Amino acid sequence: MASATDTPPGVVLPPPITERGGVGWAYANLFSNWYNTVLTFIYAALLGVALWFGLSWIVLEADWKVIATLGGRLIIGQYNTEFACPGQNCFWRPQASLLLVSVLLGMAWAVSGDKAAKRIAIGVAAITVAFAFLPYSMDQMGLDVRLLLAANVPAVAAGWVLARRTPLGTVRWIVMLGVLFFLVILVLIGGVPGVPGLQPVSTIYWGGLMLNLLLAVTGITLSLPIGIALALGRRSSLPLVKLLCVVFIEVMRGMPLITLLFMSQVLVPLAFPQDFSTNSLFRAGIILTLFSSAYMAENIRGGLQALHPGQVEAARALGLAGWQTTVLISLPQAIRNVIPAIVGQFISLFKDTLLVYIIGMLDVVEFSRAFIQGNAEYLASARELFLFLALVFWIFTYTMSYVSRRVEVHLRVGQR
Amino acid sequence: MAASESTIDTSDMIVCRDVHKWYGNFHALRGVTTTVRKREVVVVVGPSGSGKSTFIRTINRLEEHQRGDIIVDGIELSNDVRNIDAIRRDVGMVFQSFNLFPHLTAMDNITLAPMKVRKLPARQAEEIAEQLLERVGIAEQAGKYPGQLSGGQQQRVAIARALAMQPKIMLFDEPTSALDPEMIKEVLDVMRELAESGMTMVVVSHEIGFTREVADRVLMFDHGQIIEESATEEFFDNPKEDRTKLFLSQILA
């Protein structure tokens, strides 16, 4: 130990070795006393065993052929089968949809000051190009499919140029284009009667990861505004509005999602004209969105409760109207304070999309399960397939939480 | 500010007549009657819980009074929302805990209300804000967020924010109570300059030096009532009520 009395004034001493670098870190975190040392060795042994067996299975024993066999069907399910799209190749429609997403990502990269947008855009382009070079024969994976996959690179680039070189390069335009592209994608995938090449594909054949993503994107973009409205309604001074919001939130939160999805088969059709509501996808979308909105409302209400009452007082004292105070002062602060909870709800919603199997939709997990069950030769491959699906879901959810952390960093500028 | 020196207007800016306020069963204001004239600086003192904060918060209707009349700049405070909005535009308020908006820069804190309430164009609001930041002595901090400023700087931004609405009256609710001692002076200096410029001010404060120097009149609150009201010198040198004498002996000790 350095003796403090010998230190001349104004001299800054470096911290002791136990506080610095790898040695300091290991000392402080792994070997600081005898039981930490024992725990370190026990955990190291357990980790070693798990890795040894896990990795040796993954490398030596696992047979990943099932994933190659399923291939694009994991992405689109039954969409491009003979019943869904008779007499035509419809694979290009989801692929073209992905190109639109790539354009948006390219635009986001050009506009965003953060490296997250750039990394995601490059990541998507790189992964899709990698798929274009998969060692399938040309019979299994045609040149058209490969070209459309590779086209995601120019699509990202086109988005980037569009945002940098034209007046479209603003957040507002990207959001508006995002909504527009989403509608275009729905039309593209759903088809238009009478248009050659765009023959309608019933929503019962929409499936695979595409279905999970469509439901998640719809749910995420709609549940946030609905949740905000519900949260404000629950704090309203109008008794009827407040009552309706409380009842809605508590009913939605009080029931398991599976029950709600079941009930949607029976109850939602009652609220719509008969021919309109026979659509499972539409029902699932509504239920997922409303279910998520109820949780979202409580997250946002929590953020509003946490605000210092002085904020509203100061705004009112300046003469801002009630709605201006809410929009300009309360909500921006409340939402930024509960970003982790909001993104948690987004992630939860994304994972909940696979529950649509309950009403007979073949999302990526259900499609895989049905495939394994229907093809006895792949029964032994369930482990590989579901491990792969877990990885796919993890990549999406981790991307969401990565983006949310970057957003938090940017919003925290100069805070507290 | 723009108050003309030639014609000293002594019209009544705030008139309170028999104002009562209850919180549930608690009788917080029990018949407050007083008048604040234009360009007057009135300091409100009193023990904690005596109703002095409640009193100034009724003046811009952050608290609603249940009986009696409050007339601010000729407008009677009632449940009429237009009246309340009109009064809030004319009455600036500074809080003990600053209440700056933490998600906006100092500049944006100041320009928000002029742009959204007075509908000034952004450039004009920014010019006003720059002048005000200059006036309170922190022009160089315009781009910072409240969390990056010291308490004294935050309170000066809060004063500039209130002044940006070009109010006729400024209310201060214990503006220096939450500040470290070395920052109190910088805020009081701004308030002193404001008083000299002819602003009508109602200040809840226990800063005796400031009060002696700047206040025209002192109101002593106790149990929701004004128990003594007199010119500043008279108040300190010759208090009449025993409660006032006790209070002064405690805060001067």
Count CB atoms within 10 A of the CB of residue A215: 26
Residue of B29, B48, B42, B32 whose CA lies nearest to B251: B48
Residue of A372, A342, A368 whose CA lies nearest to A357: A368
Any CB–CB contact under 8 A between B117 and chain A?
A: yes
pLDDT at residue B182 tops 90: no
Query: For residue A56, what are the CA distances in angstroms to A43, A50, A61, A91, A384?
Result: 19, 10, 7, 37, 13
How far is Cα of residue B176 from the mean position of the Cα atoms in its chain? Answer: 12
Q: What's the confidence (pLDDT) of residue A134?
A: 86
Any CB–CB contact under 8 A between B191 and chain A?
A: no
| Paired sense of beta strands B217-222 and B41-45, if any | parallel
Any CB–CB contact under 8 A between B97 and chain A?
A: yes
Q: What's the confidence (pLDDT) of residue A4?
A: 52
Q: What's the confidence (pLDDT) of residue A117?
A: 92
Domain borders along chain A are 81-201, 205-416
Any CB–CB contact under 8 A between A317 and chain B?
A: yes
Rounded CA separation A325/A32 (Å): 52
The whole model's pTM is what? 0.85
- The two tokens of residue B50 are 């005596």
Q: What's the confidence (pLDDT) of residue A277?
A: 54
Q: What's the confidence (pLDDT) of residue B5?
A: 43
- The two tokens of residue B203 are 């200040």
- pLDDT (tens digit per residue) in B12-44: 899 999 999 999 999 999 999 999 999 999 999
Give A-chain residues touching B144 at CB under 8 angstroms.
414
pLDDT at residue B1 tops 50: no
Rounded CA separation B2/B40 (Å): 16
Any CB–CB contact under 8 A between A310 and chain B?
A: yes
Give A-chain residues touching B148 at CB under 8 angstroms.
414
**Contact flag B85-A414 (C-beta cutoff 8 Å):** no
**Contact flag A318-B88 (C-beta cutoff 8 Å):** yes
Q: What b/e string do you get for A223-250 counting C-beta neighbours within 10 Å, with b at 16 or more?
A: bbebbbebbbbbbeeeeeeeeebeebbe
Regions of chain A short of the pLDDT cut 50: 1-2, 414, 416
HEC secondary structure over A24-65 = HHHHHHCCCCHHHHHHHHHHHHHHHHHHHHHHHHHHHHCCCH
**Contact flag A320-B116 (C-beta cutoff 8 Å):** yes
Rounded CA separation A335/A228 (Å): 9
**Contact flag B105-A414 (C-beta cutoff 8 Å):** yes
3-class DSSP state for residue A408?
helix
B174 to chain A, closest Cα gap in Å: 14
Query: For residue B106, what are the CA distances in angstroms to A232, B138, B142?
Result: 28, 10, 5
Q: What's the confidence (pLDDT) of residue B164?
A: 96
Q: What's the confidence (pLDDT) of residue A280?
A: 80
Rounded CA separation A218/A285 (Å): 7
Average pLDDT of the residues in B101-121: 95
Q: What's the confidence (pLDDT) of residue A271?
A: 73
Any CB–CB contact under 8 A between B103 and chain A?
A: yes
Average pLDDT of the residues in B150-179: 95
A335 to chain B, closest Cα gap in Å: 11
**Contact flag A319-B165 (C-beta cutoff 8 Å):** yes
HEC secondary structure over chain B = CCCCCCCCCCCEEEEEEEEEEEECCEEEEEEEEEEEECCCEEEEECCCCCCHHHHHHHHCCCCCCCEEEEEECCEECCCCHHHHHHHHHHEEEECCCCCCCCCCCHHHHHHHHHHHCCCCCHHHHHHHHHHHHHHCCCHHHCCCCHHHCCHHHHHHHHHHHHHCCCCCEEEEECCCCCCCHHHHHHHHHHHHHHHHCCCEEEEECCCHHHHHHHCCEEEEEECCEEEEEEEHHHHHHCCCCHHHHHHHHHHHC
Q: Which of A272-276, B70-74, B169-173 has maximum average pLDDT?
A: B169-173
Q: What's the confidence (pLDDT) of residue B10?
A: 58
**Contact flag B92-A317 (C-beta cutoff 8 Å):** yes
Any CB–CB contact under 8 A between B106 and chain A?
A: no
Any CB–CB contact under 8 A between B177 and chain A?
A: no
Q: Tell me which long-range contacts A62-66 makes (C-beta under 8 A, separation of at least 24).
A: A62/A383, A62/A384, A62/A387, A63/A380, A63/A381, A63/A384, A64/A384, A64/A388, A65/A381, A66/A372, A66/A378, A66/A381, A66/A384, A66/A385
What does residue A18 show for φ and ψ, rounded to 5 degrees? -70, -10
Contact A380, A390 (CB under 8 A): no
The DSSP element (H or E) to which A375 belongs, if any, is: none
A328 to chain B, closest Cα gap in Å: 9
Residues 6+ apart with CB under 8 A from B89: A319, B117, B118, B165, B167
**Contact flag A317-B60 (C-beta cutoff 8 Å):** yes
- The two tokens of residue A361 are 């939709």
**Contact flag A320-B117 (C-beta cutoff 8 Å):** yes
- pLDDT (tens digit per residue) in A230-242: 999 999 999 999 9
- The two tokens of residue A242 are 């407040």
**Contact flag A319-B89 (C-beta cutoff 8 Å):** yes
Compute the mean pLDDT over every residue in chain B, rounded to the nearest whole number. Answer: 91
Query: Of 1.10.3720.10, 1.10.150.20, 2.60.120.10, 1.10.1740.10, which CATH number belongs to A205-416?
Result: 1.10.3720.10
Count CB atoms within 10 A of the CB of residue A276: 10
How far is Cα of residue B183 from the mean position of the Cα atoms in its chain? Answer: 18
Query: For residue B68, what are the CA distances in angstroms to A272, B13, B19, B21, B187?
Result: 56, 17, 4, 9, 34
Nearest-CA residue of chain B relative to A315? B113
A308 to chain B, closest Cα gap in Å: 8
